[in-house]
Amino acid sequence: MERIVGLFLVLAVLVMIPAIDLAFAAGDEPGEYVDRRVIIWNLFFRMMTVAFTVGAVVAGTLIWLVWRFRESHPKAKPTAYEGTDW
Amino acid sequence: MSGHSNWPEWIYVAVVIALMAWVGAEAWNAERIIEHIPEGAEVIKVTGQQWFWTFEYEDGTKTIGDLYVEVGKAYKFEIRSKDVIHSFNIHDYVVLMDAVPGRVNTVWFAPDAVGEHDIQCREYCGLIHYNMRGTLHVEEPST
Q: A35 and B110: CB-CB below 8 Å?
A: yes
- Number of A–B residue contacts, CB under 8 Å: 54
Rounded to a whole number of angstroms, the distance from the CA of B63 to the nearest CA of chain A is 25
User: How do the domains of chain A map onto residue ranges?
Assistant: 38-67
Report the C-alpha gap between B120 and A26 in whole angstroms: 29
**Distance separating the N- and C-terminal Cα atoms of chain B:** 78
Q: B32 and A25: CB-CB below 8 Å?
A: yes
Rounded to a whole number of angstroms, the distance from the CA of B64 to the nearest CA of chain A is 25
* Tens digit of each residue's pLDDT (9 = 90 or more) over A43-83: 999 999 999 999 999 999 999 999 998 989 999 887 777 76
Q: Per-residue confidence at A84, pLDDT binned at 50, 70, 90?
A: low
Q: List phi, psi (to 5°) of A27.
A: -90, -150
Q: Residue A75's Cα: distance from chain center in Å?
A: 32
Question: Averaged over B116-127, what is the pLDDT?
Answer: 97
- Partner residues linked to B76 by β-bridges: B43, B108
Q: Per-residue confidence at A26, pLDDT binned at 50, 70, 90?
A: low
- Asked whether the predicted pLDDT for residue B56 surpasses 80, the reply is yes
Of B90, B95, B87, B96, the C-alpha closest to B124 is: B87
Which B-chain residues 71-90 have CB contacts (< 8 A) with chain A? 74
pTM for the model? 0.75
Determine contact: B109 vs chain A, CB below 8 A: yes
Q: Per-residue confidence at A19, pLDDT binned at 50, 70, 90?
A: confident
* Strand ranges inside chain B, DSSP E: 42-49, 52-56, 62-64, 66-70, 75-81, 86-90, 95-99, 105-109, 115-121, 133-139
Rounded to a whole number of angstroms, the distance from the CA of B59 to the nearest CA of chain A is 23
Q: Per-residue confidence at A86, pLDDT binned at 50, 70, 90?
A: low
Question: Averaged over B78-90, what is the pLDDT?
Answer: 97
Q: Which of B33-42, B50-59, B79-88, B94-103 has the lowest mean pLDDT?
A: B33-42
Q: Which of A34, A41, A50 sits opposite B33 (nearest CB)?
A: A34
Whether the CB-CB separation of B55 and B63 falls below 8 Å is answered with: yes
Q: Per-residue confidence at B95, pLDDT binned at 50, 70, 90?
A: very high
